A and B are shown apart, each in its own frame.
Chain A
Amino acid sequence: SQTIHQWPATLVQPVGSPLSLECTVEGTSNPNLYWYRQAAGRGLQLLFYSVGIGQISSEVPQNLSASRPQDRQFILSSKKLLLSDSGFYLCAWSMGHLGNTIYFGEGSWLTVV
């Protein structure tokens, strides 16, 4: 069966520091991969998605970037964090068509101080 792992689970970082969140999917090949952000008590904001290695689509302008160095690995990064980057970051995957069911990781809580 397929599983998704995301880490770290919680992170407290100072303003201006770098960020790296990592996600891996097991049990499938060539998945679509996603990064979502959820501010406290709010909806799901799609940040990036990828349909293959090295293929990244950005949904919103921000100081974040994403990379997919391997088929089942997705990384969210920032060179300098802002206070507004605080939130709940969710990695997710799906198969086939981009409108298909999405399966989320357990999320990473980021607090920028």
Chain B
Amino acid sequence: GQQVMQIPQYQHVQEGEDFTTYCNSSTTLSNIQWYKQRPGGHPVFLIQLVKSGEVKKQKRLTFQFGEAKKNSSLHITATQTTDVGTYFCAGPIQGAQKLVFGQGTRLTINP
């Protein structure tokens, strides 16, 4: 079935270092969404990308949607301790039209 794969599963960085998580789908997605879950909290919607090749920025976070609309990335520049958490990508499944989440990338930061 259609899957959304996300790598890496875990990432530990020093504060100030950059961080990137990647999301890949087996099929073309109509959109890709990113969510952040703080430790002990619930996932919170960050952003949605719709257009092929789209790039959006939120302060130190840069989101990209691939030209083929099958992959996406989230890049954080100069991480801060507030960036700690698990980042999930999600995309709609065609046909069943459900949102499928990647496995998430858990980011930990050494201050």
Contact = CB atoms under 8 A, between A and B. Distances in A.
Contacts of A43: 88, 101-104
Contacts of B43: 44, 90, 104
Interface string B10-34: 0000000000000000000011010
Nearest to B103: A43
A98 interface: yes
Interface string B69-95: 000000000000000000010111100
A41 B97 contact: no
Interface size of A as a range: 10 to 19
Interface string B91-111: 111001111011110100000
Nearest to A91: B42
Contact of A44 (B41, B88, B96): B88
Nearest to A4: B42
A68 B10 CA distance: 36
B52 interface: no
A42 B101 CA distance: 12
A90 B42 contact: yes
Interface string A96-113: 011111111111000000
A106 B42 contact: yes
B44 interface: yes
Contacts of B106: 41
B44 A99 contact: no
A42 B88 CA distance: 11
Given A43-B88, A43-B103, A101 B42 contact: no
A35 interface: no
Nearest to B29: A99
Contacts of A101: 33, 45, 48
Interface of B: 30-31, 33, 41-45, 48, 88, 90-93, 96-99, 101-104, 106
13 contacts: A43-B103, A44-B43, A49-B98, A90-B43, A98-B98, A99-B91, A99-B98, A99-B99, A102-B33, A102-B90, A104-B43, A106-B42, A107-B41
Q: What are the nearest 3 A-B pairs in CB distance?
A: A99-B92, A43-B103, A104-B42
